[in-house]
Structure 1
């Protein structure tokens, strides 16, 4: 069998055209097995395997070209796919994806994985699928995606330790591995699911557009691996913050408001995209990671703060203050377990100007010191110290009380910061009314449990109603809670119901036990049922 080589022509980018190979001088005909009798099964399988070997996928055609003409795949042949000069003022590098050329072969994923030395289950580039069109004109498109190197990157703005930097010349958003503490907040902030947590290293990593290769005039791994030249690096104009929709094509493919981070990736096509596109995995229900350490942090600090606020009121026994301090302290300690690199946690204050996570850490730390001092005085742990000056001693009760209230104020500010950490991700389930309502509600119920049980029951009932609102409609969080997370939701409502009953019966100790269990379940739902914006994927099998 003779096969003609298609390496003689070029597409204008310096890479030979990749056209289907003829078979025996004629186009390959559809496979029709000569399988007429049961005993000819072996013959049928042999013909089937032979036909599979003749399939001319883009990757197979590129491999054949490489075998015939290796020079076609040298680095300099891909320089038409990258800019050879640095971006000028008001410009930056960006990916450009030709949707008409993308075949969904995932060679870009394999090339990125190999040349960047990623771990076995680590990927910086993904390929998904969008569907749309009318029943008589259906539309299907594969979409390759990596970091969009946004003009206003949410990962950079949210990182508490400044582990991201945006190159002032190229605009490439790079992750600084040696600065990362592994808190994964950038994973929550990014609306495109770009940063990936590496459990072996305890840090987050992501695409850096192979900036080292670009600096040497070499194409990035994905660009060089694509057999159809569907990916290129181009210069784009950076958009001002006043621009509302700088990237309508990407917004249509991802269903994400592109004005949030102003992504720069360009998706081009000669075809007009349908008005309503839908990711192929839109109906796939995937409960999110539980973040157990954060569950204990949020529940512990908020229940503990509520109890210590109650202890500041006249006539409340000291043991309630001690119990509250224990919960608050346990929550702070639990937060360390959330970090992949806990010994770098001292850096958490570095992005106080932009990151709510930095603000939460600083404010809760400022709350802990005065609250600890207040509890120590209540339990007489400082009685063995030398007596203070007479002027201080005369007003010591008032000073201790003011110290306790100062700690409570810092604690409430810390709870506000905790709520804003999640509201700032712009996820619908974590909108401010839900995040702040749930967390401040936990503090208020705990504060009233031992001082005004009936009022605490009313607040808890309102909090449960706020949570049940999220069950309405067909949103992703609603379907998750009514489906895979139904047992967890039932447990939360059962615990909340018992807490309500014991509060009404003026049994605060039993009510608090059920309150703790219910709040732990509620905070687990808070993380597991959240909507997870991302680029299109593929349906779960």
Structure 2
């Protein structure tokens, strides 16, 4: 058989492949042909627009999936030409796979910032460290304005902004804005050996309409839907891309960063608000409850500063109050803390005027507004584990538990126990809803979160409920005793554990990744 192939007029399979390769118009061959002809006016000119977009247009990436081989030259080129840190990447290569008419389908995908028409990073930034260039539409990050809060990382559904611990700020792809401005192609475009990446001009209104149309499929299968931020990147292919394709790493469990300063901040501020409500409801114990609430509040707000990469710039966080829930939270708790501390101080010093008993309701109202802003910070991200109903039950449930526990410690009676019970019911309901997802046949984001809690963080999950149950029994059955105070501390430990799982177990949306073990 082999001899027959070798004696055929076409030669061996290797001969045929070599002849076919010689006929391919690869980018290298094309450049060589033009160079030999004396045309050296710029080999990448056809891969970038030669003029600025019109008023209703902007620049965007276009990826030819049929040309992408997954070689990661674009990743290396971006990393090298932009001087990124060792583990920092602004462009990634992933994989999608599925079935087309019963046959296996597999496609490598290169992704970077999509320079969205409605950028989540820009909308969430509390210090206005993002801007969308008015001419090109490129989403730029202003490094000197960034405080390193990383909220843009949570707001972006494509895992684009990357936090640099060394610099204390976030950085991201800017489509090599400085190169484009002088007519030079971005690093990824230059480095791709098959010219799979190019810069094109797109109509912004068309992008908006397509993202808002009902039942519109995702702009790339296995990627987050475009309705949230309206990305402008276009993935093109002459092949049929199955809409049921999945990412190569779709079933990989990825516990997220714990964000310990935020764990402490969220737990303690919500507990503080609960104790302040207890002080308003039971004036006989107001002095002690306000004192404990003030101390806990200051500990929580102090911990939050440790989360910032640039804490000395934190004063600028009010700049985004018109569009960022993080700014609103900072401003609200920034008003809650001094009023609470002032009312607490008034309990221990003589004032020329006597404050009305109802004055304590002022920090209560501001504190509840602060808890609501905390809920919205996370509900405003495209993460199902943080959707409004679940997050509100968790956060206001913590406030209710602190309120009930504060009353139980002082032996207020049945009303305090009922309030504590309501908070616990809210917590149980959230966990029941989450754990049911384990039995879901589809690997949904909710199932992802449930599996992280049951597999990766099983000990923390069990410990959290042991602390909560033990603390509840101690404060309910042993009022006005050291056991009650110990029970309150156990409840705080349970709340901190829950908040830890809140960050660790969230299924963070992202573009498709590669196959992982």
Q: TM-score, normalised by structure 2?
A: 0.87
Among 296, 300, 304, the alignment partner of 2:264 is 296
Task: For residues 291-316 of structure 1, give each alpha carbon's deviation from its aligned partner in whole angstroms, at most 9, with x where no partner exists.
Answer: 00000110111111211221222211
Q: Note the alpha carbon deviations across 1:63-113, whole angstroms, 9 max, x for none.
A: 899899988997811100000011012110000000000000000000000
- Matched with 1:492 is 464
- In the alignment, is residue 366 of structure 1 matched against residue 322 of structure 2? no
Note the alpha carbon deviations across 1:181-233, whole angstroms, 9 max, x for none.
Answer: 00000000000000000111000000000111111111100001000000000
State yes or no: 1:449 paired with 2:405.
Answer: yes
Q: Distance in 1 between matches of 2:400 and 2:39?
A: 66
In 2, Cα distance between equivalents of 1:489 and 1:219:
50
The answer to whether 1:472 aligns with 2:458 is no
Match of 2:320 among 351, 369, 383: 351
Matched, 1:426 2:382: yes
How far is the alpha carbon of 1:249 from its aligned partner?
A: 6.8
Aligned to 1:319, which of 288, 295, 300?
288
Distance 1:227 1:242, change over 3 A: closer
Alignment correspondent of 1:13: none
Residue in 1 that maps onto 2:454? 482
Structure with the bigger RCO (C-alpha within 8 Å, sep 6+) is 2
The answer for unaligned runs of 5 or more in structure 2 is 1-10, 408-414, 439-446
In 2: Cα distance, 1:27 partner to 1:208 partner: 45
Measure how far apart 1:460 and its partner are: 3.5
- Of 61-70 and 345-354, the range deviating more from structure 2: 61-70
1:189 matched residue in structure 2: 155
CA distance in 1, matches of 2:48, 2:92: 21
| Correspondence for 1:82 | 48
Q: Contact 2:269/2:301 (CA < 8 Å) preserved in 1?
A: yes
Query: Do residues 163 (structure 1) and 129 (structure 2) align?
Result: yes
- Report how far residue 439 of structure 1 moved: 0.8
Change (3 A) 1:456 1:509: farther
The SS at the match of 2:427 is helix
1:137-286 to 2 correspondences below 5 Å: 137-239=103-205, 243-245=210-212, 251-286=219-254
- Flag the structure with larger Rg: 1
| Aligned match for 2:363, one of 397, 407, 418 | 407
1:461 aligns with 2:430: no
Kindly indicate whether the alpha-carbon contact (under 8 Å) linking 1:370 and 1:404 is maintained by their aligned counterparts in 2: no
Alpha-carbon deviation of 1:502? Answer: 1.9
CA distance in structure 2 between the partners assigned to 1:69 and 1:234 by the alignment: 23
Aligned to 1:22: none
- Distance of 1:438 and 1:377 partners within structure 2: 32
CA separation of 1:242 and 1:511: change in aligned 2, threshold 3 A: farther
- Please name the residue that 1:120 is paired with: 86
Conserved 8 A contact 2:397-2:427: no
Kindly tell me: are residues 28 and 431 of structure 1, through their superposed partners in 2, closer, same or farther at Cα, counting changes over 3 Å? same
C-alpha displacement of 1:487: 1.2
d(CA) in 2 for partners of 1:536, 1:315: 58
What's the CA shift string for 1:91-139, capped at 9, x where partnerless?
1000000000000000000000011111111100000000111583010
Correspondence for 1:19: none
Deviates more, 1:477-486 or 1:327-336: 477-486
Counterpart Cα distance in 2 of 1:134 and 1:270? 14
Q: Secondary structure of the equivalent of 1:539? A: coil
What do residues 2-30 of structure 1 show as CA deviations (whole Å, max 9, x unaligned)? Answer: xxxxxxxxxxxxxxxxxxxxxxx976379
The corresponding residue for 1:45 is none
Deviation larger for 363-372 or 233-242: 233-242
SS at match of 1:117: coil
Q: Does 1:517 align with 2:489?
A: no
In the alignment, structure 1 residue 95 sits paired with structure 2 residue 61: yes
- Whether the 8 Å CA contact 1:453–1:503 is kept in 2: the answer is no
C-alpha contact 2:255 2:505 (8 A) present in aligned 1:
yes
In structure 2, do the counterparts of structure 1 residues 278 and 75 end up closer, same or farther at CA, with 3 Å as the change threshold? farther
Judge conservation of contact 1:457–1:503 (CA < 8 Å) in 2: no
Asked if residue 310 in structure 1 is aligned to residue 278 in structure 2, the reply is yes
Q: 1:215 to 1:499 in 2, by over 3 A?
A: same
Aligned-residue offset at 1:467: 3.0
- The range that moved more, 167-176 or 496-505, is 496-505
Once the two structures are TM-superposed, the CA of residue 248 in structure 1 deviates from its matched residue by 5.6
Distance in 1 (CA, whole Å) between partners of 2:403 and 2:130 is 40
Structure 1 residue 159: Cα displacement: 0.2
Does the 8 Å contact 1:305/1:325 carry over to 2?
no
Q: Which residue in 2 is equivalent to 1:4?
A: none
Q: What secondary structure does 2:42 align onto?
A: helix
Aligned mates of 1:193, 1:66 — CA distance in 2: 35
